[in-house]
Amino acid sequence: MDRLRRWAANADLRITAPLVFVAYLAILPGLGWGIPHVNHPDRLHGWGNDDQVPMATLAEMHDSLFGSPPNRNYAYPLGQHLVWAAFYAPVMAAVYATGGIESPSGEFPFGLEDPVGTVRLLSWVGRGVNATMAVIAILALYAAGRCMGSRAGGAVSAVGLLLTFPFLYYARAGNPDAGVLMWTCVGLAATAWILRDGYKRLPGCLLGAAIAAASGTKEQSLGSFFLVVPVLLSIALLARSERPLRERVVDILWSGAVFAGVFVLWHGIWLDPERFLKHLELLVAAGSGSVGGPGYLRHPGGLAGQWQQTVDLFFHLSDAMTWAWLAVSAAGIAFVARTRPRFLVLGLSAVGFFYMLLLVGFSRIHYVLALAAVLYLFAGQLAGHFIDQSRWSTAALAVVAALLVVPTLRAIDLTHDMRNDSRHAATEWLEDRMVAGERAAYFGAALKLPHLPDGVGLVQVEYAADAAPTLERERPEWLLLGPEDTDEYRQRVQWREGPLSIHSPYLPHDEYLRLAREGSGYRLVAQFQSPRLLPWLPRPFLTYATVNPPVQIFVREDLALGLPALTPWKTAPHYPKPGRLNEPWPLALRGQES
């Protein structure tokens, strides 16, 4: 009972415990979305674009320990893979101890007795790690708001981040974005702590560790701190303080040592230094624009291109936060500037990250989550100021609740799409009709396919020019169609409406129309896309054609007995209505967006 009374008296616990509960309650309903069904060497990937859980981590650990193949992926640092691997290790040990692994191998089925079940279990573990990192990000933002002066303001900031589009998607999927956002928010909390109490060893070391871990997850995160750290160090060394200069210098050196140690750890330099160097080479190539060729998803250089990038980022931010929260954030910055100006240093995090994104030359909606986190801190302080005053408290809470209505409805609508993804229905339909030994042709990447029964083979069409010859030569029993966000040259295509919202650019539209006509040798027998829960609600697009895409299934005419011939859709029937496309178009496609 005494412990319960102490808990009830602890103001932070009274806020953080419900925050954790609500966060997990929001994340868990879609946590199982897109987990891979690994019963074929081409079905190792989850449905989410760039989803790393769990096969990418297992591959990275295998390649670091036993040697790198020529086609190794150096796109990300090792940091997030090391985190996932730490949680996979006891699972794999248990699988090994129970006889689930014989002769481990880098090739499918990897020596696993039950690759489908083992990978599913590892996927749940990896998704659980991501969900927890997302929850910690929310708690860290609360801690930052509390250091700024208002517990209520910190709570508003945390809830705002939770409902920022597309936070919940990345909290559920197997991308590194939840991890990098967590470390960024921990860094913001450490920064706010330093601004409140001065530069001391513990918050300084926490900041150094957070920056290093964030960079070891995604290097772009350094943009959030490259302006903040010099200002904090200048304040620590130059401001009047009762603490001797020598003590302050020693604390800064401790921070630097922690940064260096965590940097070596999180970048995997201790495990695979060669991979670290290869990763740096790829970063340099990407920064020079040589990756992907001229115009690869980037605005042109110069002031005109930077202005276009600024506009794209701003509209992505308005999509993620809503215009109302952007306005409150702007007012919050003015409020903090008047009442506690030292905390404006936190705003430098957003400025630095925005500048980094400006140089990148292209934008995607999840890039702005780190910007939104900072802006919610200022919005929260303004809201907290009124919530903390008894005469304004009820009205302020009502305004905050009203501002959260649209983000909440968008989160519910996205969750519904994830739980009712079209591929669930397509999987059930195919399980009743596909037979082991049959083959299904697909166009582009296999990751977006419905789950297929055991023993069903795959025929890949890798280039648009090969579509017709491949189908004529292979005569697969089934054709599985869905949209792609880029073409075979990695150039952006319009997948939100029109023909390419239905089928991949790897299948030329003329060939698609030919397949849909009678006499082609194939028949369109099924089309799947689940209706939205809230079709009247304007909802931003995710960057990729990832959640609840249209799925069309063709079957060879000699196998189509008893199956109806359907009229093909002309555009995806249940995507959110396309608005402004906040992204650059490749040079070859400029002026052809519609």
List, for residues 18-37, the tens digit of each pLDDT value. Answer: 999 999 999 999 999 999 99
Of 383, 416, 449, which one is at a domain's C-terminal end?
416
**CB contact set of 341 (below 8 Å; sequence gap of 6+):** none
Q: What pLDDT score does 581 carry? A: 78
* pLDDT above 80: residue 587: no
Share in percent of the chain as helix, strand, coil (round to 5): 60, 5, 35
Query: Do 537 and 412 share a domain, yes or no?
Result: no
Q: How far apart are CA 408 and CA 163, in angstroms?
A: 6
Look at residue 590 in the predicted model and tell me its pLDDT: 44
What is residue 336's predicted lDDT score, i.e. its pLDDT?
A: 98
- Is 25 a domain residue? yes
Is there a single domain that holds both residue 404 and residue 430?
Answer: no
Q: State whether 267 and 253 are in the same domain.
A: yes
What DSSP state is assigned to residue 166?
T
Domain count along the chain = 2
Asked if 358 and 474 sit in the same domain, the reply is no
CA distance linking residue 549 with residue 142, whole number of Å: 35
Region 386-410: what's the mean pLDDT? 97
Give a yes or no: residue 399 inside a domain: yes
Same domain, 395 and 428: no
Q: What is the pTM of this model?
A: 0.95
503 shares its domain with 558: yes
pLDDT at 374 over 90: yes
Residue 505, preceding peptide bond in cis (omega within 30° of 0): no
Residue 292 confidence (pLDDT) above 80: no
CB 268 within 8 A of CB 82: yes
- Is 478 within the bounds of a domain? yes
Domain check: are 452 and 410 in the same one? no
Q: Which two three-digit tokens encode residue 151? A: 């517990």
Tell me if 170 is assigned to some domain: yes
Higher pLDDT, 7 or 137: 137
- Residue range 370-374: average pLDDT? 98
For 113-129, how does the pLDDT look when each residue is reduced to its tens digit (9 = 90+)? 999 999 999 999 999 99
Q: What pLDDT was estimated at residue 580?
A: 80
- How far apart are alpha carbons 427 and 418 in whole angstroms? 15
Pair (441, 362) in one structural domain: no
Report the pLDDT value the prediction gives residue 593, as an integer from 0 to 100: 42
442-484 pLDDT, tens per residue?
999 999 999 999 999 999 999 999 999 999 999 999 999 999 9
Looking at the predicted structure, is the pLDDT value of residue 44 above 80? yes
Instruction: Determine, yes or no, domain membership for 173.
Output: yes
Residues 6+ apart with CB under 8 A from 153: 145, 146, 380, 381, 382, 383, 384, 385, 387
Buried b (16+ CB within 10 A) or exposed e, 423-456: bbbbbebbeeebeeebebbbbbbbbbbbbbbeeb
- Say whether both 450 and 343 belong to one domain: no
201 pLDDT more than 70? yes
Q: Are residues 399 and 427 in the same domain?
A: no
- Sheet containing strand 551-556, edge to edge, reads 457-461, 439-443, 478-481, 551-556, 522-528
Identity of the residue numbered 467 = A
- Asked whether residue 543 is assigned to any structural domain, the reply reads yes
Among residues 362, 395, 416, the one where a domain terminates is 416
Across the chain, what does the average pLDDT equal? 93
Please check whether residues 356 and 464 belong to one and the same domain: no
Instruction: Tell me: do 456 and 345 sit in the same domain.
Output: no
Tell me whether the omega of the peptide bond preceding residue 166 falls within 30 degrees of 0, making it cis. yes
Give yes or no for a contact between 221 and 215, defined as CB atoms under 8 angstroms apart.
yes
Residue 103 resides in a domain: no
Percent of the chain with pLDDT over 70: 95
| Parent domain of 449 | 422-589
Write down which residue in 356, 389, 416 finishes a domain. Answer: 416
Domain membership flag for residue 64: no
| Tokens read off for 484 | 């792609």
The encoded tokens of residue 531 equal: 């209706």
**Statement: residue 591 has pLDDT above 60:** no
Between 293 and 144, the more confident residue is: 144
